[in-house]
Amino acid sequence: MRRREFITLLGGTGLVWPLAVRAQHATMPVVGFLGSDSPELYANEYRWANGDNNRLAALAAELVGLRVNVLVSGTTPAALALKTATTSIPIVFFIAGDPVALGLVGSLNRPGANITGTTALTLEAGKKWLQLLQETVPSATEFAVLINPTSPHLAEVQTKELQAAARSLNLRIHLLNASTEHEFETAFAKITELHAGGLVIASDSFFFAHIEKLAALVRETRYWRFWLP
Instruction: For domain 123-227, give the CATH number.
Output: 3.40.50.2300
Phi, psi of 143 (to 5 degrees): -135, 160
CB 137 within 8 A of CB 171: no
Q: What percent of the chain has pLDDT over 90?
A: 20
What average pLDDT score do residues 42-70 get? 79
pLDDT at 7 over 60: no
- Domains 10-119 and 123-227 in one fold: yes
pLDDT at 40: 63
Domain ranges of the chain: 10-119, 123-227
pLDDT at 171: 93
At residue 83 the predicted structure's pLDDT band, cuts being 50, 70 and 90, is very high
pLDDT at 151: 81
Superfamily holding 10-119 = Response regulator (3.40.50.2300)
Answer whether 0.95 is exceeded by the pTM: no
pLDDT at 2 over 70: no
What average pLDDT score do residues 204-216 get? 83
pLDDT at 32 over 80: no
